[in-house]
Amino acid sequence: MANVTATTADKFIDEIWSGELNRAVEFKLVIGGLFADWTARMGNSGDIFHLVDRHNLTANTKSASTDATPEAITEGEQTFTVSTHQIVAQQIEDFVEVMSKYDTRAEFTKAAAYSLGRAMDVGGAALMDDNTTQTVGVLTAELTDDNLIRAWQYLQDSSGDGPYKGVVSPAGWGGLLKIEKFTQQLYTGDTAGRAVHEAQIGRVYQAQFYASPLTVGTAPNSSGHMWAGDHFFKIVKRPPSPHAWYSPLATSWVLATDQIYGMFENQEADEAAAVTTRARLHGVRLQNLK
């Protein structure tokens, strides 16, 4: 007996194309936004930003009838080169635009904006694993209350001015939510339950914490950071900027979006009299898990 099967009736079975695209997962971009913006300090031109040190002087005992000896300090400087130039580019033929049911140009423009923002977050996160002197926590393990108190003490010891900020991985954030001080309204002042329902950690030890899947490290290792004021900063010479031109011979659009910027970590000038050194004083690396 001849049967009507999926093969013999193939032409009678229609195919449906989704009205929506299965867009790539996008992480929340938070790290770049937490960096202090020093763009205006550099102005419109130049590629190297100079930050000159100014250290403290020595208080000497003055003897009667004896002139004081003037103190001379040879100061140094830090230089920060704004040289990261990134671009996302594509060429889209008119044939595709005409034949596709999807707005391909709009979709890839959105993808380009996310790619550039993500690259800036990754660049910032890489700086957070660069402090071996002031480090708390253990890789592959959750942060403890003692770890955070010690981090706070590091910043206090060097007179780090607020606001304090912190970034950890989602796994590190989950560990902090197990500490009552980060969820109990008596500590955080949160009467709406945001810490539990929205995973928003309260301001404890003067620091507002954020979570990012883009912290540096490969699971189960992750390095976050807690810092004061302008310890981390960025200089943006060109924010993400779209460019386009049409090629009549190729009957296609060439689209490009680029950015020029730098993500930096400042080393603070030491407090001791007459020294001319600097160190990463207003930042603490948070070793934890991912």
3-state SS of the chain is CCCCCCCCCHHHCCCCCCCCCCCCCCCCCCHHHHCEECHHHHCCCCCEEEEECCCCCCCCCCCCCCCCCCCCCCCCEEEEECCEEEEEEEEEEHHHHHHCCCCHHHHHHHHHHHHHHHHHHHHHHHHCCCCCCCEEECCCCCCCHHHHHHHHHHHHHCCCCCCEEEEECHHHHHHHCCCHHHCCHHHHCCCCCHHHHCCCCCCECCEEEEECCCCECCCCEEEEEEEECCCEEEEEEEEEEEEEEEECCCCEEEEEEEEEEEEEECCEECCCCCCCCEECCCEEEEEEEC
The per-residue pLDDT for 176 is: 86
> Percent of the chain, pLDDT > 70?
92
d(CA 84, CA 236) in angstroms, rounded, equals: 10
* Residue 242 maps to a domain: yes
For residues 189-203, give the mean pLDDT: 57
pLDDT digits (tens, 9 = 90+) for 53-105: 999 999 999 999 999 999 999 999 999 999 999 999 999 999 988 888 888 88
**Residue 148 pLDDT > 90, yes or no?**
yes
Does residue 12 sit within a domain?
no
Query: Does residue 241 contact residue 43 with C-beta atoms inside 8 Å?
Result: no
What's the pLDDT at 219? 92
Report yes or no on 6 lying in a domain.
Answer: no
pLDDT for the residue 87:
98
Closest alpha carbon to 252 in 108, 156, 122, 123:
108
What is the model's pLDDT at position 98? 86
Q: Quick check: 124 pLDDT over 80?
A: yes
**Does 195 fall in a domain?**
yes
- Which pLDDT belongs to residue 30? 92
Give the pTM.
Answer: 0.88
Residue 155 inside a domain? The answer is yes
Interatomic CA distance for residues 158 and 280, integer angstroms: 10
- Residues 276-281 have a mean pLDDT of 95
pLDDT at position 189 over 60 = no
In a domain, 168, yes or no: yes
Residue 180 lies in a domain: yes
Q: Examine the pLDDT at 184 and tell me if it is beyond 90.
A: no
- pLDDT at residue 137 is higher than 80: yes
- Under the banding of pLDDT at 50, 70 and 90, the label for residue 191 is low
* pLDDT over threshold 90, residue 196: no
For the chain, what is the mean pLDDT? 90
Inside any domain, residue 118: yes
Write down the pLDDT at residue 8: 83
> Rounded mean pLDDT of 260-273?
96
Higher-pLDDT residue of 4, 110: 110
Q: How many domains does the chain have?
A: 1
How large is the average pLDDT for residues 118-140? 95
Query: pLDDT band at 163, cuts 50/70/90?
Result: confident
Structural domain harbouring 236: 31-54+79-268+281-289
Q: How does pLDDT run across 10-20, given as a tens digit for each residue?
A: 888 888 989 88
Residue 162 has pLDDT above 80, yes or no: no
